[in-house]
Amino acid sequence: TSQRDWARSDTYHNSFLLTKDQALDDALKNSTANGLPEIAVSAAQGKFLMLLAKSICASRILEVGTLGGYSTIWLARALPEGGKVITLEIDEKHAKVARENLAKAGMSSKVEVVVGKAVDSLAKMNPDPPFDLIFIDADKVSNLHYFKEGKRLVRKGGVIIVDNVVRYGRVADPSYSDDSVEGVRTLLDGLKDDQEIDATTIGTTGEKGYDGFLYAVRK
């Protein structure tokens, strides 16, 4: 199978399970118009994140890697009254577009966009109560660092999701190497003997390619 088949499968399933969504469509359109790369999660993946957050009654969510706030809107929609998403973004322009998109989606009061290197923003964080859910989707070389910080910042029983851990199967191909693939391998290596985490990889192959989420629960 190929990218065309994967995309067709998403389109097919989405035609039963997702409805037209003006706020999310507008967010993508505005992001593209501002020159942001088209690397947001897919609609099906965004909905998965929203359903996951709802399932665990997440009221405090941390995202690493905002881009135009597409996944942020999905996550914010899962929040109960008084809930909050904090999302970290290095790029001023991405953060500006995200704030526009969040405002248009009516989510501004539920989301804080923090601009800066995620390493620095994370180091300053010490939330009480801790986060229920953390979504890691930024520079892949720093995956293990973000994951370790995520572990420090998430509650026991809380969930950490890391995006793009399959990468067209390249992560598992010993003849292949690039910085992002190495970032995933380093993460997996760090998890091998981690007694405080229970994790699995879930395939997400669809319109955004042959890929997967790491799904981890803090014991």
CB of 195 to ligand SAM, least distance (A): 28
CB of 150 to ligand SAM, least distance (A): 14
Pairing mode of beta strands 131-136, 111-115 = unpaired
CB of 67 to ligand SAM, least distance (A): 4
Alpha helices in 18-116 (DSSP H): 22-33, 43-55, 70-77, 92-104
| Axis crossing angle, helix 22-33 with helix 70-77, rounded to the nearest 10 | 160
CB of 15 to ligand SAM, least distance (A): 22
Give the nearer residue to ligand SAM in terms of CB position, either 125 or 174.
125
Give the nearer residue to ligand SAM in terms of CB position, either 100 or 137.
137
Binding site for ligand SAM (CB under 6 A): 39-41, 65-67, 70-71, 88-91, 94, 117-118, 137-139
Give the nearer residue to ligand SAM in terms of CB position, either 71 or 143.
71
- What tokens were used for 39? 């690397």
Judged by DSSP in three states, 140 sits in helix
Judged by DSSP in three states, 21 sits in coil
